[in-house]
Amino acid sequence: HARPSYYALLYFTSTESFAFLSSANIHSLAGFFFAAIVAVAAALLMGSMSSKQDKTPAQWPPASDADLPRATFAMGCFWGPQLVFERVPGVVTTAVGYTGGKVENPSYEAVCSGSTGHTEAVEMTYKPSEVTYEQLVAKFYENHDASTLNRQKGDVGTQYRSGIYYRTDEEKQIAEAAKAKVPGAVTEIKPLDHFWPAEDYHQRYLWEKGGRMGRPQSAAKSCNDPIRCYG
């Protein structure tokens, strides 16, 4: 997936320029070029706005969650998975970020280039008395296609690979047992090296920021509404 600002740019320029053409009922070549100029101007404006996005990595984990265990999964574009786990009762806080790569504190652009080796991942803190690691792993497999290598639906690249990143031998055993029950699963199961929080504009993207279309989705616990992956 591309940055939110890029898709907003495409949506804005295409809809506005064609709406202009339709409303003005333009039939002349001169009118068409004028509409094109309007679209280009809008693109430049949106590009300027996107450069001002907050690219500061989110603070993670919250100090209030310091004593809680964490779980880390990769299952394609991280916006949807964050909302999946945010809805799970017992999950306290979630964050999206990058793991499994060879560069410290990578940027979103670098990860998307495929050159850093990172996955897009979601990490969460949770209360074991309310939800177990085994249940989180089950939720992981229920919400993506673990049989496609380096791909989830239309998103293709090593950053979209399926992965479980464990912290203890017990978590490793749980992950491997769950994988064995999924036909054709290609999920990588590795010890967590480091989780780098993604830029702030990616955090809680589908419910607080409304996704690409500005339509917030519910993050209420136990909500079963279908998740629109890009908003």
Active-site residue set: 77
Please report which helix (H) or strand (E) contains residue 140, including its range.
helix 133-142
Q: How distant, in Å, are the alpha carbons of 2, 119, 161, 180, 190 from that of 186?
A: 25, 14, 9, 10, 12
Structure tokens at 85: 């786990």
Question: Which residues are within 8 A (CB) of 95 and not within 5 positions of it... i.e. 6 or more apart?
Answer: 58, 60, 61, 82, 122, 123, 124, 197, 198, 203
Phi, psi of 211 (to 5 degrees): 70, -170
CA dihedral in degrees (48, 94, 70, 153; nearest 10)? -80
Q: Which of 123, 119, 125 is nearest to 77 (CA)?
A: 119
Buried b (16+ CB within 10 A) or exposed e, 38-67: ebeebeeebeeeeeeeeeebbebbeeebee
